[in-house]
Structure formats: structure tokens, C-alpha cells
Amino acid sequence: MERPFLIITFLVVTILVAGCTAAPRSSYSYEARPTTATPPAPITDYRDPLPSEMDDDLLSPGEIVMFRDANEDNEISLKVVSSTDRGGYEPAGEPVKSTAPPGWRYLFVHVVITHRGYRGDGYQTTIYAPPAQQFILTGNGRTYYPVSVRADHLANIGEVYHGNEWVERNGKYEGYIVYEVPESVVGSGAVITADIVDLRDRYGRKYYNFKYYDKNPVWRL
């Protein structure tokens, strides 16, 4: 009886030792799981692009817009001829020079308004050249207004367009409007809008009749 008991005891001890020395099995699964990385947020362009209908109607430099004065007696043409940029400008005959801040340039836009002829039977034979402030520059989503230049002529550039003048029959008024803009605006496809469709005198009367061209003309520089 003693021998079978010893065999049984040996087997029990062996089983217990094997159970204690076996490596514990982890409950964590090492199976590879696919990761779901969040894609980077798209870069948003916060600029206000030109509406498609405006883009379709953009005029090229030198392209003429024809209209008449309010009484339809006088025919008028308006055009933006060209543009150029400089780091500064100097009134002719004066030692004072204006220099653009670092990273900025002066943009000179050549504008011409012409009296194309008298077509009426009244007494008003002159046309009104709109003020320079009516010509608005838009570039890279920002708006720029003309710089106030206290001169009539700029050295190595030409006459300054101030506007607010009356032009005689078959005459014209022209000059450069000056803007101060970031360097990035130069050559960026900026546009000039002539805000004149609803331009009125001090009595509230319109200066022009846009029967055949009923929106503010816009030129791409």
C-alpha cells in the first residue's frame, strides 16, 4: 500500500510544480490594429475672390469704356492705360522724396478720361473727370485707396491724376494715381474699380448716364 501512495503523491507534486512555474498568459492581445490618423486640416484661403461674373467682365489695360453725361449731351471714354511701381517718388522741382516702408511699394496707375464729342442741343459742353478717390485698388483680398499727393507732376513718372475737373469738348484729362501697397500686390493681378456709376454732385444729381454700361468698370492690371 505504501508504494502506490508514494506514486500518487509524486504525481500530485509534479502537477502543482508545473502549474506554478508556467509563465502567466497575458490577457492583452498583441494583434496589430489599424490606426485611424486624423488628416491635416485643409489650408483655407480667407481672401475674398472676385465673383465669377465680375471676373468675366474684367477689362484689360488700355480697353475703353464709353458712356455719356447725365443729360446724354456729351460722349465720354474712360480707360486705365498701364501701371508701374517704384520704391519712392519725388515731386518735380522739389527736394522732398516719399519712400515706401520696407516690404511696400508705390503703384502708379495711368488713367485717361476723354471728351469724345458733343451730341446734344443744350449749353453743357464739358464733362466731369471723377476724383482720384473713386478709383479703388483691390489686390490679394484687400482694398487700397489713392495716396494724397500734393503735387501736379512727379519726376520721372508724369502728371498726377487728381480729378474733380471739368474737361472741354474734344479735350482729355489724364495722369497717374498713386497707391501704397505691399510688394506681394505688385504683379499679383490686382484690379482697379472706377466707382462712378452712382457718382453724384452736391445736389444729388448723377454725373453720368450708364444706359449702355450699367456697372462700375473694372480693369485687371
In the structure grid, which three cell numbers stand for residue 175, read together? 495722369
What DSSP element (H or E) covers 4?
Answer: helix 2-21
Positive or negative CA dihedral for 202, 207, 213, 216? negative
Planar angle of CA 163, 179, 159, nearest 5 degrees: 45
Find the radius of gyration of the CA atoms of the chain.
Answer: 39
Along the 221 residues of the chain, how does pLDDT read in single tens digits? 444 444 444 444 454 444 444 444 333 333 333 333 333 333 223 334 444 335 668 999 999 999 999 989 999 999 999 999 999 999 998 888 999 999 999 999 999 999 999 987 778 899 999 999 999 999 999 999 999 999 999 999 999 999 999 999 999 999 999 999 999 999 999 999 999 999 999 899 999 998 766 789 999 99
**The listed CATH number (2.60.40, 3.30.70, 2.40.128, 3.30.420) that belongs to domain 64-213:** 2.60.40
In the structure grid, which three cell numbers stand for residue 48, read together? 475674398
In the structure grid, which three cell numbers stand for residue 188, read together? 499679383
Query: What was the pLDDT predicted at 55?
Result: 60
Query: What was the pLDDT predicted at 100?
Result: 96
- Answer yes or no: are the C-beta atoms of 221 and 141 closer than 8 Å: no
Query: What was the pLDDT predicted at 119?
Result: 85
Residue extents of the structural domains in the chain: 64-213
